[in-house]
Amino acid sequence: MPKSSFYEEEVYPSPMRQTWNEFQRNHIALGGLWCLVFFLLTSLVGPMLLPYGPLQQNTDALLLAPAWAANGDIEHLFGTDALGRDILTRVAHGCRITFGVSFILVILSMLVGCSIGAYAGMSRGIRSSVINHLLDAIMAIPTLLIAIIIVAILGTGLMNAMWAISLALIPQFIHQTRDIVRREFHKEYVTAARLDGAGNNRILFHSILPNMIEMLVVQGTMALSVAILDVSALGFLSLGAQSPSPELGAMLSDSLETAYVAPWSIALPGAAIFLMVLSINLVGDGLRTALKNRLTQ
């Protein structure tokens, strides 16, 4: 027999649900999320649906115009490049390389940076002073310049560029995590945990880290846009991915010589980078606004 209750209990949404409700109210950020999902699906599924390979050449269709042009062909929807390679196929593979590599770099940088930042936030005395001054000096240098310097030492190539960008992104996560840990250590719930006999490690993993996750997601989205720009920039400068790799920055570099003859060969990779970075920035800004609105309620 079902039990009935005379009292109606108020149901409070979880912090994640509250953040999502606030995020949904920002239609621009929601549009950026759908655009980001589109690029994610393009990176995962797109290359498997297209009939051509990223390095497959067609000597009978050199610099073929897009399908909507008078001399275009529906078999190559966005045309071909100077070697007869299908641009749509190369852009789909380029999104997989650029977006996938950037995502992996951000995850690695976040893990290393958060570990060092948590140690720096709990440190006191001369160790904390040295770390703070070193971070301030590194943060003043643009990440792309740091990446170029590291690539100049390690050598060119996509793998060396990945190491360079990852090392350039780590100080941002160290700085952000250090500030959050220091700020949270002075709050009442940490003091209560200390009075219960909890050590620094237990306070960090059970009390502070759950409150850092949403902030780190916002920082991660911003770092993802920086990583995409850095990967593309190093590929464009021939310091990262090398030709004939279908990386978006390398594609822009390869198409410079034919930009006036075949502008479509440079327009589609450039538009992909622009929309990818724009959607990530919109999502990151929407998350930051949603967190701010949720915390002020």
Rounded CA-CA distance 176/159 in Å is 26
Q: Give, to the nearest 10 degrees, the angle between helix 209-236 and helix 158-185.
A: 150
Q: Note whether residue 202 is domain-resident.
A: yes
Q: Note whether residue 36 is domain-resident.
A: no
Residue 265 near residue 66, CB atoms below 8 Å: no
pLDDT at 57 over 80: yes
pLDDT at 160 over 90: no
Structure-token pair, residue 200: 């620094």
CATH of residue 256's domain is 1.10.3720.10
Q: Note whether residue 103 is domain-resident.
A: yes
DSSP string, 42-67: HHHTHHHHSSS-TT---TTSTTPPPT
pLDDT at 51 over 80: yes
Rounded CA-CA distance 158/234 in Å is 9
Q: Note whether residue 167 is domain-resident.
A: yes
Rounded CA-CA distance 212/10 in Å is 27
Give the pLDDT of residue 246: 85
Residue 164: which domain range?
A: 97-295
Q: Note whether residue 216 is domain-resident.
A: yes
Q: Note whether residue 43 is domain-resident.
A: no
Q: Note whether residue 265 is domain-resident.
A: yes
pLDDT at 12 over 90: no
pLDDT at 7 over 60: no
**Number of domains the chain contains:** 1
Cα 251 to chain centroid distance, Å, stands at 20
pLDDT average, residue stretch 237-261: 84
Query: What average pLDDT is seen over the chain?
Result: 82
Burial group, residue 220, by CB count within 10 angstroms (0-12, 13-18, 19+)? buried
Rounded CA-CA distance 103/88 in Å is 22
| Spatial CB neighbours of 27, under 8 Å, sequence gap ≥ 6 | none
Q: Note whether residue 17 is domain-resident.
A: no
Residue 222 near residue 110, CB atoms below 8 Å: no
Give the pLDDT of residue 204: 77
Please identify which residue in the block is written with the tokens 């846009």. 225
